[in-house]
Structure formats: structure tokens, C-alpha cells
Amino acid sequence: MSENINQQVERQRIIIVPGMGCVPVRDCNWYAWLEQELQKDPNDRFSVILEDMPDPHSARESRWVPFIRDKLKFDEKTILVGHSSGCEAIMRLTEKHKVRGVILVAACHTDLGDENERASEYYNRPWDWDAIRANTEWIVQFHSPSDKLIPVAEGRFVADKLKSEYMELERRGHFMSKQFPEDAEYKREQAASLFTNSAQDEEEFENDRHRRHSKMRQTRQIQREIDRQVGMIDKFNERRQQELQKKQIPTTTTSTRSYLTSLSSSSSSTASSATDRANRGGGATEKYTTTKHTSGSKLY
């Protein structure tokens, strides 16, 4: 019974959309590695499409979106995988077209003040977040706090708008390595859901998906609270420094000594009072240091 069901299921079509400037595409980043990993599937469940994009160094929407739509032949059962500029192409595409799922690696929603990005045409109008959500069964995002090209705040903003399953991976930069095992593993998991052979299996898979999404929402709430607390501490430190500067209380060991020495000719009571004030000021000027930890579901 199970074998017959498996035979009736079509191969999952996956289209990989690379980043700007990635040509030849199979020589860049993790794209060819991911294609090969999925093609190794023992059940032959995947049909992977990876092609050089037109206009690769500008990645204009007017060239990329029609190419994906008309040449790569996606449909409502397709999974789209985008990296960097490929994410924006996919988001514009899914504003108008339905797909099964979307995986976004290092996505952004603004041109970041870059002229080349501005010329790519993706950012000249608001994003239709509601339409993107409505046209996709599920959305997964990967970003890294160490990304120097697209700040992690961009990815978090997109995740919040799309209500995606969002994962931050440490020390991955802009995801330009030759391998991306987390992405491959996630696709295998999604493909496995296509081969469930009972209502109970489907129910268990859906429950697991809802649990993951709930965990992601909790993680984002924790991150926002951490950001709020850090902001409050920073403001407190700033106000305290301003107060100390107004009082002209020294903040270093050398200046404290000079300050106390200058008071030595005063009366003993005045000197004692000044010393107490200086000691209190020195303690108060110790700068609070806060380490901001990035919350998120991390894969290792």
C-alpha cells in the first residue's frame, strides 16, 4: 500500500534562485552542492532546477521574474529557494503567484542605500506581505548575525512581516560557503511530508509544524524584549554620563587623584566631603557593559 502511494507522488520540483553576480551559477556558493545533495535522495523525490540567470550583475526584477516564471516553469507545487537578491525576486514573484513553499537565505526589504540594489527595481514600491503569505503554504528563512552585506535586522523585519519560520545561524556571514547542510536537511524534511500515508501521519506533521512556528514566535518576542532592555540600559548610561559631565566629576584614576590633591588646602570637613563625593562619582562612572545575545532557533 505504501509503495503504491509513493509511486503516485510526483517528484518535488525545486528551483534555486542565486544571488546577484553569481555566474557561472554552479561555481558559486552552495548552489551546486545543494543540487547534488538533493539528487542523491535514495527515493528520487526531487527535481532540482539551477540555471544561470539573465542580467546576473544587475539582477533586475524586469529580467529575473519573467525568467523564473516563463523559462524555469514553476507552478503551485514548486518550492523556491532564494539567496540574497534571489530572495527579493522570489518575494516579488509570490506577490502574484502561488507556490508550495519558499526558503529565503539572507533576505532584505530595502536597497540599503546602495545604487546597484536600487537599480534592481525590487525596492521602488511597498511590499505586499499579505499576498506573499497567502500565496505560500510555508516560508522558511535563514540569516546570520555576522552578515556584513545584509544586516540581520533586515532578515528579522522580513520574518516578522511574513510570519516565517526564522532561523539565525552563527558565524555564517552572507552564506557564501560551498555547503549549506541546514537547507538541504530542511528540504528533506518537507519532502518527507509529501509521502505520508495516513491521516494520522499528516496530523502529526502539522502539529509538529505548528509547534515549530509557536517556538519561533516566542523567540521573536524574547528578542524584542532583550532589545528593549538593552535600549533602556543604554539610555540610562547616556543620562548618567551627561549628569556626571555637568558636575565635572573626574572619571579616571589620574583625574581623581588630581582632583583630591587640589582639595588638600581646604578645610578638613570640606576635603572630607569632597573626597566622599569623588569616591561616589568614580563608582558611578563605571560604564555598564551589556552583551546582546541574539535569540533565535539556531541549528548547529
| Residues tagged active-site | 84, 147, 174
SS3 content of the chain, % helix, strand, coil (to 5): 50, 10, 40
CB atoms within 10 A of CB 105: 26
DSSP letter (8 states) at residue 27: G
C-alpha 35/C-alpha 285 separation (Å) is: 56
- Output 133-137 pairs: Cβ under 8 A, ≥24 positions apart: 133/162, 133/163, 135/94, 135/95, 135/96, 135/97, 135/98, 135/99, 136/94, 136/98, 136/99, 136/100, 136/101, 136/102, 137/99, 137/100, 137/101
C-alpha 30/C-alpha 173 separation (Å) is: 13
Total count of residues recorded for the chain: 300
DSSP letter (8 states) at residue 201: H
Contact 78, 84 (CB under 8 A): no
C-alpha 190/C-alpha 66 separation (Å) is: 27
Q: Which three cell numbers stand for residue 282?
A: 568614580
Q: CA torsion, points 237, 240, 242, 243, in degrees to nearest 10?
A: 180
